Structure formats: C-alpha cells, structure tokens
Amino acid sequence: MAPHGRCCEGDHQHRDTPEMGIEYSLYTKINKDNLECLNEAVEGSGKTVFKPWEERMNFDLFVDSDADEELLFNIPFTGNVKLKGIIIIGEDSDTHPSKIRMFKNRPSMTFDDVGATADQEFQLHVDNQGTLEYATKIVTFNSVHHLTLHFPSNFGAETTRIYYIGLRGEYSEAHHHGVTICTYEARPNVSDHKNPLEDTVGHQIQ
C-alpha cells in the first residue's frame, strides 16, 4: 500500500485506451524550455521522460542520476494544473526509485531545499509497465503552476533510472489580462487642455 494516498492497481492496470492518452496529456502543458532536472547524468535527459502515454514504454529515452541516487525535477507549467495522479515507470531492478516527494509552487528548488516538508509523498513500488497510479491530494494540488518532484532514494543501486513520468489532471490557461489604470483623481480638467483629445483616461499594462 502507498501511504498518504491511494495506489490504484485495479482501475488502471488493464486500461490502455485513447482516454488514457488524453488523461495523461499534461506533459504538453510543461514549459520544457525551463524544466530542470538536477543530478541528471546526461544533460537534458530529464526532459525526455515527460512524453506521450503511447510512448511510455519507449525505453530508449530515460534519465539516470549521476553522483548518487537522487533526482530533482523542477517542472513549470504554462498555466494552472489540477493534478490528480502520477505514474512512474522505472526498471525492474534496484535502480527503480523507491520514494517520491512532491512540492507545489516552489520554483527553482535545489537539493539544499528538499529538507522542507513535502506537500505529499509516496513510497513507490517497482513498476516497469505503468500499471500503478498514485493519487494526489486534489485539494492540495488544485492550482499548480510549478511542480517539484524529488526522488531521494531507490531500491539499493548507486544510481536511479526513470523511463516515464506521467501526470494526470486538468489544465486551465493562465490569465494575463492587462490591468486598466484609470487616473480619475489625477486627471486635469478638460478646460486645462488646449486639445481635449490628448487627455488619456487609462492605459494597459501587459
């Protein structure tokens, strides 16, 4: 059993439908240019584990940890996410991560910051097929614009390997409306202007 949440072995074990591809499409909402993976053995390899559901078994793409077994992902989204579940695929070996710690809306975390209390954490089971989903606390992860995933340990190997990280949930666009500032008090009387058309009521801040 997975503490602090629900590990769904039944509902997701035999499901490999188009709906799963839609449910696990949050990878398309990640700002890949600013995604960071700390302690990755090959630069840029951490980004490759966020891929389509249909490619989750593509074991040509993976991330290995470098100096030790820890991995830390800083994942910025292009909008707001309601995160409902996560799937981790690793090897059927000791390199599979044994624990995940999740932090909400704390950009640019480093290994110096992971001593903080996580918003949620799970003890992981070895899963090399993507059959186990770990259900997040939706109330906690209701409005996520940045997600940090810390993998502090594995099942005994010197390094950790991950093939796929699937994120299930809902996405909404970030609102970037311009703010209209109306300077009523500071606006001179029209009679003070030679040309009233030059008077500006407000302007937009983008």
pLDDT, tens digit (0-9, with 9 covering 90-100), for 3-30: 333 444 333 343 556 688 889 999 999 9
The pLDDT assigned to 191 comes to 54
The pLDDT assigned to 187 comes to 52
Q: What is the pTM of this model?
A: 0.79
Q: Which range among 17-31, 35-49, 147-161 shows the weakest confidence by mean pLDDT? A: 17-31
The pLDDT assigned to 20 comes to 85
The torsion angles phi and psi of 11, rounded to 5 degrees, stand at: -60, -30
The pLDDT assigned to 19 comes to 81
Which of 100, 71, 97 shows the shortest CA–CA distance to 156? 97
The pLDDT assigned to 2 comes to 39
What SS3 class is residue 23? helix
Per-domain boundaries in the chain: 6-176
Give CATH for domain 6-176. 2.60.120.470
Condensed to tens digits (0 to 9), the pLDDT of residues 94-144 reads 999 999 999 999 999 999 999 999 999 999 999 999 999 999 999 999 999
Computed from CA positions of residues 84, 118, 61, 156, in that sequence, does the dihedral angle turn out positive or negative?
negative
Condensed to tens digits (0 to 9), the pLDDT of residues 162-205 reads 999 999 999 999 865 555 454 444 455 555 555 544 444 444 44
pLDDT average, residue stretch 58-63: 97
pLDDT average, residue stretch 33-55: 97
pLDDT average, residue stretch 59-81: 98
The torsion angles phi and psi of 49, rounded to 5 degrees, stand at: -80, -10
Chain length of the chain: 206
The pLDDT assigned to 202 comes to 45
